């Protein structure tokens, strides 16, 4: 039984994360995590005389029942004072996967990935799946078109290791590199050209190429936190975030 961690802020994004996490496997242990401020005056909810942590646990359970309620799942509830990235850094090695969501961005040129989610992703010690805001069903076993953007040669064994653990077919992964000079993919060729030139005319070419080249999953490996964070803020990743492509970030170890 896969162990999945879902950070919950009771937002639309949290609902999206929970529904996708629940659809990944027939049976799963899905832990709902809510973090809250350590100072009483910063706490968001009022539970009267009830203990705050107990009140949040009740709220988490109601949230789950409202949006999923699958009897095949086991649903532990976790509430802790502190930051979500700090808590994830401490507990994530107990899980097979963390599921989060990214919001749609008003810009037609780039997608969006918040600094908070970047902090959670880089501190996680297990894979992190970042889902777009979509009702489209997603399952690892159904992924036919998987891209791995490789930044170091040492990443391939990591991708193979976690692909098997998460039920992704490693044979489906196509490796793309930032050093690539020959291109079979017009989508990747135009993204690389845009990264170098920032020629806005390429955006339409990227959009058209993406329509012809479906991508079910993008895999990245966090080989070094500071370098990876810089890469994740790059136009390359932001362009992928523009489309409804799930992104799977793997820890290097």
Quick: pLDDT tens for 180-196.
888 889 999 999 999 88
The phi and psi torsions of 215 (rounded to 5 degrees) equal: -130, 120
* Best CA proximity match to 219, nearest among 18, 165, 195, 184: 165
Torsion of CA 175, 176, 177, 178, to 10 degrees: -160
Residue 97's DSSP bridge partners are 4
Q: What is the mean pLDDT of the chain?
A: 89
What's the CA gap between 4 and 166, in Å, rounded?
11
* Best CA proximity match to 192, nearest among 86, 81, 202: 202
Check whether 166 has a pLDDT greater than 80: yes
* pTM, entire model: 0.92
| pLDDT recorded at residue 153 | 85
pLDDT classification of 31: cutoffs 50, 70, 90: very high
DSSP 238: H
Q: Average pLDDT in the 20-40 region?
A: 91
Choice between 41 and 59, residue whose per-residue pLDDT is larger? 59
Count Cβ neighbours within 10 Å for each residue of 154-174 and write b for 16 or more, e otherwise. ebeebbeebbeebebeeeebe
| pLDDT recorded at residue 113 | 63
Quick: pLDDT tens for 109-165.
555 567 788 889 999 999 999 999 888 889 999 999 999 999 888 899 999 999 999
What's the CA gap between 127 and 33, in Å, rounded?
16
Domains of the chain, start order: 1-101 (3.40.50.620), 135-253 (3.40.50)
Check whether 105 has a pLDDT greater than 70: no
| pLDDT recorded at residue 112 | 57
| pLDDT recorded at residue 102 | 87
């Amino acid at each position: 039984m896969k162990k999945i961690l879902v950070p919950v802020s009771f937002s639309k994004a949290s609902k999206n994360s929970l529904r996708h996490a629940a659809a990944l496997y027939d049976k799963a242990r899905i832990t709902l995590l809510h973090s809250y401020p350590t100072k009483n005056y910063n706490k968001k909810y009022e539970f009267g005389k009830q203990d705050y942590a107990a009140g949040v646990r009740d709220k988490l359970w109601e949230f789950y029942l409202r949006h999923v309620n699958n009897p095949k799942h086991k649903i532990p509830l976790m509430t802790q004072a502190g930051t979500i990235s700090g808590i994830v850094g401490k507990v994530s090695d107990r899980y097979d996967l963390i599921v989060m969501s990214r919001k749609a961005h008003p810009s037609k040129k780039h997608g969006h990935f918040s600094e908070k989610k970047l902090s959670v992703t880089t501190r996680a010690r297990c894979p992190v799946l970042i889902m777009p805001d979509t009702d489209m069903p997603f399952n690892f076993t159904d992924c036919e078109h998987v891209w791995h953007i490789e930044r170091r040669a040492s990443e391939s064994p990591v991708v193979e290791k976690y692909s098997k653990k998460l039920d992704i077919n490693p044979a489906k992964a196509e490796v793309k590199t930032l050093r690539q000079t020959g291109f079979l993919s017009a989508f990747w060729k135009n993204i690389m050209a845009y990264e170098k030139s920032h020629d806005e005319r390429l955006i339409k070419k990227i959009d058209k190429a993406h329509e012809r080249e479906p991508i079910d999953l993008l895999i990245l490996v966090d080989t070094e936190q500071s370098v990876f964070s810089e890469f994740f803020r790059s136009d390359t990743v932001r362009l992928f975030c523009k489309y409804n492509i799930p992104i799977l970030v793997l820890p290097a170890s």
